[in-house]
Chains A and B, each alone.
Chain A
Amino acid sequence: MSSASNATDVAVIKAFAAIPAFLEQTPALIARGRFLDCECLLGPIGHPFHASIRTGRIVDLTPAPVLMRSWRFAYRASPAAWAAYWQSEPRPGWHDLLALTKRGEAFLEGDLHPFMAHLQYFKEVLALPRQQFAVTVS
């Protein structure tokens, strides 16, 4: 993986690392994912994280690469896409995970079953930095 090259990249990586803590403060979202156990790769394209999810909680979030670590699916987006997605009122076309894949700013790969079976969960988990990030960049 390359090193983070600019302020947006650094801010996005920092915001991503805070997602497990945000999730712990959102019990309704943990409850939504209560049947989910999954290893996945999430984050900015150049600096994704391996996420271990158990009964809706992110119990481990480790920057990739990790030697021989497997994942079932990956959702990776450009740092600019995450920064746009996390605005308090995202711009049209930058406001949804699948809007980002449609416009080619994000990539969804692997075995998509856990992602699709818990689609609203992942949309909300990956939006958790929104309030704080919007404040950070303003």
Chain B
Amino acid sequence: MSGTIEPMVGRYVHVDIGGEMNRIYFEENGTGIPLVCLHTAGSDARQWRHLLADEEFAKNFRIIAFDMPWHGKSNPPADWTGEEYQLTTARYTETIRAFCKALKFDKPVVMGCSIGGRIVLNLAIDHAAEFRALIGLEAADFQAPWYDTTWLNRPDVHGGEVCAALVSGLIAPQSPQASRSETLWGYKQGGPGVFKGDLYFYRVDGDLRGRVETIDTKVCPLFLLTGEYDFSCTPEDTKRTAAAIGGASVTIMEQLGHFPMSENPEQFRRYISPVLGEILKQSMQSKQGVKV
């Protein structure tokens, strides 16, 4: 309806990441348990707009989605002089922790998709006690590459077009056309080399094989959900990862691909609702002193 205003509010917060001040854009809605949402490589936090606007979830969760530096409305750092952008495991981990610290979140839940799902595993390995629960969408300790990332940033191929065309196949055929187009639009709008730079973490620096075994889900519950049409992080990749982690919850989501929250928000809601319900239940029991 003309005149409808959505409930989320966007603001900027200045965050010290590794001694460098970054101006980070974030949107939020709701009250309660902080739920920090991480977008996929090469895109931005608009992917979470349906979750942010969810009235039911917003009753118990303070839902927050931020644009990583270099993405969406978070510019590159002011002192950037043009060198190639490369996201590392350390930098990504530090960014999330610094953002949470800057906004003074008390044991937030972090939910990330794709590279966000991978870094969630790293948070579970090294910083589990800081978080109430972790949710990895399209997450695995490693997955086999299926294209050469040098195609993503070269002067004789349109970066936006090729990034979107590559990931278009990761969307389930059943996803609504409008949501598919919106998901791909994010890729068409990414800065030059940013998707490729994010994939440095995914492909080169962030191999977590042999490390996920140390995750203790008693310290922090871990939920992994993967779409059946994701041939980048396949259901088998997620199941293999989860098999090495005692107590990890695994769900394979039907009729969804690599971008569940944006490619088919309604279908994704069916799967994420029970997870958020479980986190809320555990949080309330914990508050009441019930051992969970």
CB < 8 Å: which of B146, B161, B173 contacts A120?
Answer: B161
- Asked if B165 and A120 make an inter-chain contact with CB atoms under 8 angstroms apart, the answer reads yes
Q: Mark B230-252, 1 if CB is under 8 A from A, else 0.
A: 01001000000000000000000
In the assembled complex, the CB of B267 is this many whole angstroms from the nearest CB of chain A, namely: 14
Which residues of B sit under 8 angstroms from A97, Cβ to Cβ? 169
Q: Mark A95-128, 1 if CB is under 8 A from B, else 0.
A: 1111101110000000011001101100100000
B158 at the interface (CB under 8 A from A): yes
- Asked if A96 and B162 make an inter-chain contact with CB atoms under 8 angstroms apart, the answer reads no
In the assembled complex, the CB of A88 is this many whole angstroms from the nearest CB of chain B, namely: 8
Which residues of A sit under 8 angstroms from B103, Cβ to Cβ? none
B9 at the interface (CB under 8 A from A): no
Which of A93, A97, A113, A119 is the most central at the interface, judged by chain B CB atoms within 10 Å of its CB?
A119
Bound CA–CA A60/B152 (angstroms): 31
- Asked if B228 and A89 make an inter-chain contact with CB atoms under 8 angstroms apart, the answer reads no
User: Closest 10 CB pairs between A and B?
Assistant: A96-B169, A119-B165, A120-B165, A99-B231, A102-B146, A92-B228, A117-B157, A92-B229, A116-B151, A89-B173
Which residues of A sit under 8 angstroms from B170, Cβ to Cβ? 96
Residues on B lying within 8 angstroms of A by beta carbon are: 144, 146-147, 151, 156-158, 161-162, 164-166, 168-170, 172-174, 228-229, 231, 234
Question: 20 A-B contacts, Cβ less than 8 Å apart?
Answer: A89-B174, A92-B172, A92-B228, A92-B231, A93-B234, A95-B172, A96-B170, A98-B169, A99-B146, A102-B144, A102-B146, A116-B151, A116-B157, A117-B157, A117-B158, A117-B162, A119-B166, A120-B165, A120-B168, A123-B168
A90 at the interface (CB under 8 A from B): yes
Bound CA–CA A123/B170 (angstroms): 13
Question: Given A90-B173, A119-B166, A120-B168, are A101 and B157 neighbors across the interface (CB < 8 Å)?
Answer: no
In the assembled complex, the CB of A7 is this many whole angstroms from the nearest CB of chain B, namely: 25
Bound CA–CA A120/B228 (angstroms): 22
Which residues of A sit under 8 angstroms from B234, Cβ to Cβ? 93
Which of B165, B166, B234 is the most central at the interface, judged by chain A CB atoms within 10 Å of its CB?
B165
